[in-house]
Amino acid sequence: MSAPERIPPRSVTATDPAAAELLARGELTVRGRIREASNAALYCTVTHEDREAACVYKPVAGERPLWDFPDGTLAGREAAAYEVSRATGWDLVPPTVLRDGPYGEGMCQLWIETAPGAELLALVDGEEPEPGWKAIGFAETGEGRTALLVHADDDRLRRLSVLDAVINNADRKGGHLLPTSDGRLYGIDHGVTFNTENKLRTLLWGWAGEPLPEEALDVLRRLRDALAPAGSLTAALTPLIAPAEIDATRARVDSLLASGTHPEPGGDWPPIPWPPV
């Protein structure tokens, strides 16, 4: 009698409700290192029962200390950013969990395959953006030439700019934007977020000072409720970031609702990350 044929595992995508459970409970197998990352980042597969997926595992042991982020870990903040994204209903951050792995506790995030040719950022001549684009600022491009850096006037980016304002993202670069073939957009690399001081640094300043869309205001109201002391989001964030950082997140949501506008760059912190991509 021949052995029963083995059924290959089912691949899990970011929209699959089982993705977070797979990341949390599955067996991690390291396949290689992502050398472009400034901290230890390992490309892995994760398998559990009949499901599997590619993922990124960033162990806490491989993090470089940051003087301006003395509390908590990069991994904890990455997982916290996912929890806030999930609470918005926009699902802008790939499923992410904090778990034990081959090199100790770390962040495990679903790998996202990007769609080629999706243009979200550009350098253009002139002093004003074309229709469908928003100006970020002028950039030196070499040989004494200056060009206008722009981003797409895209609802997905606008939602991400609101999320970044809530989590106080200090490093929203172009390389952290992952458009996919199904029309979704994901943001990654949220290790420098949730600081109690204003450190918002992003390429998505195109809507600065403009009124927030009603959709965003509705989301912020839901976040305010979920961030109450006994709220569901507060409970999810408590194991991941410091109590003062949760309080600061709650205060940022209140501030956005009070102003009703997208935040504008402050004067105490460089508003655009470097390098921008």
10 Å Cβ neighbour count for 6? 6
Distance CA 15, CA 89 (A): 12
pTM value is 0.92
Contact 63, 74 (CB under 8 A): yes
- Give the tokens for residue 140: 């030196």
Which pLDDT band holds residue 92 (cuts at 50, 70, 90)? very high
- Give the tokens for residue 83: 């929890």
Q: What is the pLDDT of residue 67?
A: 77
Decide if pLDDT at 9 tops 90. Answer: no
Structure confidence by residue, pLDDT tens digits, 126-147: 888 999 999 988 877 766 778 8
**Is residue 263 classed as helix, strand or coil in its secondary structure?**
coil
DSSP code of 130? P
Q: What average pLDDT does the segment 171-189 reach? A: 93
List, in order, residues 6 or more apart from 97 with CB less than 8 Å away. Answer: 20, 23, 24, 79, 82, 107, 108, 109
Which pLDDT band holds residue 89 (cuts at 50, 70, 90)? very high
Q: Phi, psi (5° rounding) for residue 261?
A: -130, 160
More confident residue, 166 or 182: 166
Structure confidence by residue, pLDDT tens digits, 213-252: 999 999 999 999 999 999 999 999 999 999 999 999 999 9
Q: What is the pLDDT of residue 36?
A: 77
Q: What is the pLDDT of residue 106?
A: 96
194 sits in the region (left: phi over 0; alpha: psi -120 to 50; else beta) called left
Which pLDDT band holds residue 261 (cuts at 50, 70, 90)? very high
Radius of gyration of the chain (CA): 20
Average pLDDT, the chain: 90
Which of 29-38, 106-115, 166-175, 212-221 shows the lowest mean pLDDT across its residues? Answer: 29-38
List, in order, residues 6 or more apart from 6 with CB less than 8 Å away. Answer: none
- Residue 38 burial (CB < 10 Å; 0-12/13-18/19+)? exposed
List, in order, residues 6 or more apart from 211 with CB less than 8 Å away. Answer: 260, 261, 262
The percent helix, strand, coil of the chain (3-state, each to 5) is: 30, 25, 45
More confident residue, 81 or 174: 81
Decide if pLDDT at 11 tops 80. Answer: no
Q: What is the pLDDT of residue 3?
A: 42
The fraction of the chain above a pLDDT of 90, given in percent, is 69
Decide if pLDDT at 183 tops 50. Answer: yes
Q: What is the pLDDT of residue 1?
A: 41
Q: Phi, psi (5° rounding) for residue 237?
A: -85, -25
Q: What is the pLDDT of residue 277?
A: 64
Decide if pLDDT at 8 tops 60. Answer: no
